[in-house]
């Protein structure tokens, strides 16, 4: 039943994308859906105590992107700017977490190696997405504009936040695992 609920939570923003004509968001939704399906097939992920929380966070991020990008509401320029910054920090947190889980569960790397590799892969992906968006708008030969540089900087800020959270939590797990019983 949980799988059906997650599919519904994924399908609704995809329908919103299609109905509003913001088709450039579809690859993000498709990749995120594919990653969630892939993770759901991994026994280590299915048994992970944070799995449901991660699933809902991934889908909540997709909903947030659809709301911000499809712009059902018009906000002032400073609010739009702040929402865009928050979107990129959220992107780093969610997609960086996905990369971390893939390296941790599929490749079976140690947590620290999975975390660093995941964040490097995420930031390379972030640059690739900026190139994709430039190509979509026809500006690929112009180089990154100020907005693209801001987006990549926010991706890095989100990466640092994710690194601190996961590094600390993996350090806590290691330190409690190494304690001897009293």
Tens of pLDDT, residues 7-19: 888 899 999 999 9
Task: Output the pLDDT for position 36.
Answer: 83
Band (pLDDT 50/70/90 cuts) for residue 156 is: very high
Task: Output the pLDDT for position 174.
Answer: 45
What is the C-alpha to C-alpha distance for residues 121 and 96, in angstroms, rounded to an integer? Answer: 8
Q: How many CB atoms lie within 10 A of CB 134?
A: 17
Domain ranges of the chain: 1-73, 77-182
Residues 31, 32, 38, 42: what is their CA dihedral angle, to the nearest 10 degrees? 150
More confident residue, 157 or 169: 157
| Contact assessment for residue 167 and residue 97, using Cβ atoms and an 8 Å cutoff | no
- Indicate if the pLDDT at residue 158 is higher than 90: yes
Band (pLDDT 50/70/90 cuts) for residue 161 is: very high
Task: Output the pLDDT for position 111.
Answer: 86
**pLDDT one-digit tens code per residue, 127-138:** 888 888 777 776
- Indicate if the pLDDT at residue 6 is higher than 60: yes
| Contact assessment for residue 91 and residue 158, using Cβ atoms and an 8 Å cutoff | yes
- Indicate if the pLDDT at residue 179 is higher than 60: no
What is the C-alpha to C-alpha distance for residues 128 and 134, in angstroms, rounded to an integer? Answer: 10
pTM of the complete model: 0.73
- Indicate if the pLDDT at residue 31 is higher than 70: yes
Q: Which two tokens stand for residue 79?
A: 């609010």
Task: Output the pLDDT for position 87.
Answer: 87
| Contact assessment for residue 104 and residue 127, using Cβ atoms and an 8 Å cutoff | no
The overall average pLDDT reported for the chain is 82
Please state the three-class secondary structure of the chain as a single string.
Answer: CHHHHHHHHHHHHHHHHHHHCCHHHHHHHHHHHHHHHHHHCCHHHHCCCCHHHHHHHHHHHHHHHHHHHHCCCCCCHHHHHHHHHHHHHHHHHHHHHHHHHHHHHHCCCCHHHHHHHHHHHHHHHHHHHHHHHHHHHCCHHHCCCHHHHHHHHHHHHHHHHHHHHHHHHHHHHHHHHCCCCC
**pLDDT one-digit tens code per residue, 39-83:** 888 888 888 777 887 888 888 889 888 888 887 677 888 988 898
Q: Which residue has tokens 């806590």?
A: 172
């Amino acid at each position: 039943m949980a799988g059906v609920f997650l599919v519904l939570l994924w399908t609704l923003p995809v329908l919103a994308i299609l109905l509003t004509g913001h088709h450039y968001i579809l690859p993000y939704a498709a990749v995120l859906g594919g990653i969630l399906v892939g993770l759901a097939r991994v026994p280590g992920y299915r048994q992970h105590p944070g799995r449901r929380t991660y699933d809902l966070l991934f889908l909540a991020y997709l909903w947030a992107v659809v709301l911000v990008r499809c712009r059902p509401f018009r906000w002032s320029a400073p609010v739009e700017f702040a929402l865009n910054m928050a979107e990129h920090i959220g992107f780093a947190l969610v997609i960086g977490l996905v990369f971390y889980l893939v390296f941790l569960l599929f490749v079976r790397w140690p947590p620290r190696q999975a975390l660093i590799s995941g964040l490097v892969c995420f930031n390379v992906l972030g640059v690739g997405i900026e190139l994709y968006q430039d190509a979509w708008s026809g500006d690929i030969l112009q180089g990154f504009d100020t907005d693209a540089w801001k987006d990549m900087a926010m991706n890095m800020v989100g990466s640092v936040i994710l690194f601190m959270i996961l590094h600390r939590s993996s350090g806590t797990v290691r330190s409690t695992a190494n304690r001897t019983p009293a």
